[in-house]
């Protein structure tokens, strides 16, 4: 469930922490994110410029840049 998603830009999502408020989706300047099943989902990682605005404004710390898989 809380499996980290790691792609080109090292953007990670913790679905178990996401409460589905859509703040990150709305204020992402590059339209990288979308919602699925009431939680955030990466739509197009290629467009991510790693600006960190999603991380800055996520009230639940469910989306962030950096980190690695082995922390799971």
- Find the part of the chain contacting another protein (CB under 8 A) among 29-37, 42-50, 57-65: 57-65
- The entry of another protein, ligand SF4, none that residue 15 binds, CB within 5 to 8 Å by partner kind: none
d(CA 44, CA 60) in angstroms, rounded, equals: 22
Residues 15-34, mask of contacts with another protein (x by CB under 8 A) = -xx-xxxxx--xx-------
E strand intervals along the chain: 11-13, 33-36, 39-42, 63-65
* Min separation Cβ 5 and another protein, Å: 14
d(CA 41, CA 5) in angstroms, rounded, equals: 10
């Amino acid at each position: 469930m809380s499996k980290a998603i790691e792609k080109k830009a090292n953007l990670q999502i913790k679905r178990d922490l996401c409460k589905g408020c859509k703040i990150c989706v709305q204020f992402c300047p590059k339209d990288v994110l979308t919602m699925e099943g009431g939680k955030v989902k990466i739509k197009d990682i290629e467009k991510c410029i790693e600006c960190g605005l999603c991380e800055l404004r996520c009230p639940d710390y469910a989306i962030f840049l950096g980190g690695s898989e082995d922390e799971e």
